[in-house]
Amino acid sequence: MGDALLDIVFTAPHPDDLEIGMGGAIAGLVKLGYRVGMVHMTNGEPTPRGAPEIRVREAAAAAEVLGVTAWEILDLPNRELMDGPAARCALATVLRRHRPKVLVGMAGRTPAGSPDHYQAQLITEGTRFYSQLTKWDDRFGGAKPHRVDHLVYRPLPGSAELTHWPGRFVVDISATIQQKCDAISCYRSQFEGERLDRLLHYVRSVAGAEGARCGFRYGEMYALPHPLGVSDMIGMLGAREARPPTAPDAGSASDAVR
């Protein structure tokens, strides 16, 4: 991943988590000219369908589809991923090297899925704090402290509980939904045939439901651990006409929000 300066870093436990959950926003930020990084905490192996070298190739292909500036797979253990100093230091070292303004991670528990997902949330939260600690540079490969301005969550649609977030917003991914699906499709060891078809149907359905709340054809919901502070309420709200998707004169997603 080198040491390129980044504007924003997205992180999740396994290769394919970022693409499934946040691929639309990632691709959109790249199109807007931001320097975007992706960090997979583990290589996702072992699985019944893959191998470490296969997952690396698939992650590289997905990163190319999304167009990110940099991506990296940390050497943390899949299936045994746990929040703690070692995991926090590993991710914080990346943040200290690349010095992003924003860190985005998953949020929510998935009892029917991998417990790595919730542990990744805890690691991400702890990492933001670890990244700024002074007099501890030896634990981060000599990288200097860095304060990340904003922590953003991508709540899991299938989380075990409904969480109250002090602030939420929806990113319009209408222009990047196909790019998101193409990136997911790079993980052929995990998703192929009917399995891939069902996943892409789920991804489009979630994006359609989340986007419709703000008048977008497709969207991704994000959350903040604090209210969103503004000085210009009207400027923030902008011109918006969110009509029901069943309205006979409902325009395209680009017409809904200017």
Question: d(Cα 60, Cα 3) in Å, to the nearest integer?
Answer: 18
User: pLDDT for 214-229, tens place per residue?
Assistant: 999 999 999 999 999 9
CB-based contact 1:37 (threshold 8 Å): yes
- Whether 152 is covered by a domain: the verdict is yes
Encoded tokens for 240: 């918006």
Sorting pLDDT into bands at 50, 70 and 90, what band is 253?
very low
* Packed helices 85-98 and 116-130: angle between N→C axes, nearest 10 degrees: 60
- Whether 245 is covered by a domain: the verdict is no
Number of folded domains that form the chain? 1
Please name the residues in contact with 50: beta carbons below 8 A apart, sequence gap of 6 or more: 44, 58, 189, 190
Kindly provide the b/e burial profile for residues 84-103, where b requires at least 16 CB atoms within 10 angstroms of the residue's own CB.
Answer: eeebbbbbbbbbbbbbbebb
- Whether 223 is covered by a domain: the verdict is yes
Name residue, tokens 């946040």.
22
User: 18 — alpha (psi -120 to 50), left (phi > 0) or beta?
Assistant: alpha
Range of the domain at 17: 8-230
The pTM of the full predicted model, rounded to 2 decimals, is: 0.92
- Whether 239 is covered by a domain: the verdict is no
> By C-alpha distance, which of 54, 58, 159, 162 is closest to 115?
159
- Whether 3 is covered by a domain: the verdict is no
Report the CATH number at residue 139: 3.40.50.10320
Sorting pLDDT into bands at 50, 70 and 90, what band is 254?
very low
- What is the arithmetic mean of pLDDT over 192-210? 97
- Whether 109 is covered by a domain: the verdict is yes
- Whether 141 is covered by a domain: the verdict is yes
Mean pLDDT across the chain: 93
Name residue, tokens 């990244």.
131
The pLDDT value given to residue 249: 57
Question: d(Cα 114, Cα 108) in Å, to the nearest integer?
Answer: 11
- Whether 78 is covered by a domain: the verdict is yes
